[in-house]
């Protein structure tokens, strides 16, 4: 495996809410995603999920509050916690989660993205 340039990978697609795998470590995938607007309430019952903001800012709504993230900040959503990511303007994010995790968890949504899509 060669080095990965996050900006170069993010330049390869335009659509929002469609995570793209850029690397794997053991059973974990590193995914880049562009987000804008509201996502859906969902959870991941079997795993935590890491959000690390590369560029822009975002909010993660939780049932008991929300977390604001800016460039260079990260948050770990604990497994089983319902959450809804949101960004007013386009935000570029690195996600870290186990292979096979669907972006919308078990929620039925038009925003469910193809899984395990590499760029």
Q: What residues does each domain of the chain span?
A: 6-98
Rounded to 5°, the CA angle 25-36-73 comes to 50
Mean pLDDT of 67-82: 98
Q: What is the pTM of this model?
A: 0.95
**C-beta of residue 36 within 8 angstroms of C-beta of residue 87:** yes
CATH topology of domain 6-98: Jelly Rolls (2.60.120)
Sign of CA dihedral 67, 70, 75, 77: positive
Give percent of the chain above pLDDT 90: 97
Asked if the model's pLDDT at residue 72 lies above 80, the reply is yes
Q: What is the DSSP string of 59-111?
A: EEEETTEEEEEETT-EEEEPTT--EEEEEEEEEEEEEEEETT--TTTT---TT
């Amino acid at each position: 495996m060669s080095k990965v340039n996050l900006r170069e990978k993010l330049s390869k697609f335009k659509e929002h809410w469609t995570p793209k795998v850029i690397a794997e470590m053991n059973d974990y995938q590193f995914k880049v995603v562009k987000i804008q607007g509201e996502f859906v309430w969902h959870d991941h019952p079997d795993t935590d999920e890491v959000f690390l903001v590369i560029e822009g800012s975002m909010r993660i709504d939780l049932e008991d509050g929300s977390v604001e993230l800016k460039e260079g900040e990260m948050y770990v959503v604990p497994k089983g916690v319902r959450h809804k990511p949101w960004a007013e303007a386009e935000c570029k994010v690195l996600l870290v989660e186990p292979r096979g995790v669907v972006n919308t968890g078990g929620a039925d949504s038009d925003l469910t993205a193809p899984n395990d899509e590499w760029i």
